[in-house]
Amino acid sequence: MSTEALDGGLVGSASGAENGWLARNGLLRRLLRDRVAALAAAVLGIIVLAAVFAPWIAPYDPYFTDLTKVMQAPSALHWFGTDNTGRDILSRVLYGTRNTLVLGLVGVIVGGAIGGVLGIFAAYYRRLGGWIMRLVDIMLAFPAILIGLALAAIFGAGLFAVIIALVIATVPDVARVARGAAVSVMGQEFMEAGRAVGVSDSALIWRYLTLNCISTIFVFLTLRFGQIILIGSVLGFLGMGAQPPAAELGMMAAQGRDFLFMAPHIATIPSFAIFVIVLCANLLGDAFRDVLDPRLQT
């Protein structure tokens, strides 16, 4: 067998794996068949669209204070009521959802990319793998809240410190998952065949190893997204995220805790928004896992 033929076969295997995990048994059709997943996807999609188009659909300026309308209950003029400075809570929830989603997406995407690279390198380069995984173990020893506190002390409280904390919190878990998936792929015959015919390390890592691990990493990241949103909201609640007058759901819940008995809607509405986002993300992540994990296929 020639090198070109074997390499062509390997390309077919990798590209087949890449396309297979996207269309296995009709991914979209199977997801839509799950009514809970379809409902979660629809609700999450509406939330994302509302956050993206917040400047156009928000009924009021989220930063405008009106001391004549302080802590008003939900009404026809202010659907979610007003806060302790007279700002419209619906408008602030729309803008706050945007910041909360940005925190989660950046944390998951950047942390997932870094963690995936580290995990795959650890599996491919065995001598380097021990050092990488020890670094991962050290990162796991530090809770995200502690990392956020340290970064807030260094850089000052703000979205940047929270994003770095969320990335650091995502990297070790993704690295462990990616390494486990990569070690399994490394034992396949096509990887040994590729090495035998002289396929370069970069080609083996990207075209064959990564493409066969990407579905596992993707499923884990969909499950991790809700957790990252929750961690980011907790950091915002503790005052390490967006600073006033900016809107962020965790910070808004914290601002309303002093008025729970006088105006409970100030804290409960942004808290409920966090709950809905995390719940939908978790339900959708579970559905992706059920569809993409071959061990769960019937």
Domain tally, the chain:
1
Give the range of the structural domain holding residue 201, as residue numbers without chain letter.
Answer: 48-61+73-276
The pair of three-digit structure tokens given for residue 297, joined into one six-digit string: 């296929």
- Structural tokens at position 266: 């100030």
User: Is residue 18 one of the residues assigned to a domain?
Assistant: no
Q: What is the reported pLDDT for 20? A: 45
CATH number for the domain spanning 186: value is 1.10.3720.10
CB 296 within 8 A of CB 114: no
Query: What interhelical angle do 144-155 and 159-186 show, nearest 10?
Result: 140
In this structure, are residues 69 and 82 in contact, taking their beta carbons and an 8 Å threshold?
yes
pLDDT computed for residue 150 by the predictor:
80
Q: What angle, 0 to 180 degrees and rounded to 10, lies between the N-to-C axes of helices 126-140 and 159-186? A: 140
89 inside domain: yes
- Closest C-alpha to 121, from 226, 189, 206: 206
Q: Which amino acid makes up residue 72?
A: Q
State the pTM of this model.
0.82
Q: Is residue 186, in this structure, part of any structural domain at all?
A: yes
List, run by run, the mean pLDDT of 10-residue segments along the chain (298 residues): 43 44 55 79 93 93 89 91 92 93 92 91 84 86 79 78 88 90 80 72 77 84 89 87 85 89 92 94 84 58
CB 203 within 8 Å of CB 147? no
pLDDT, residue 18, reads 43
- Please give the Cα distance from 71 to 219 (Å, whole number): 42
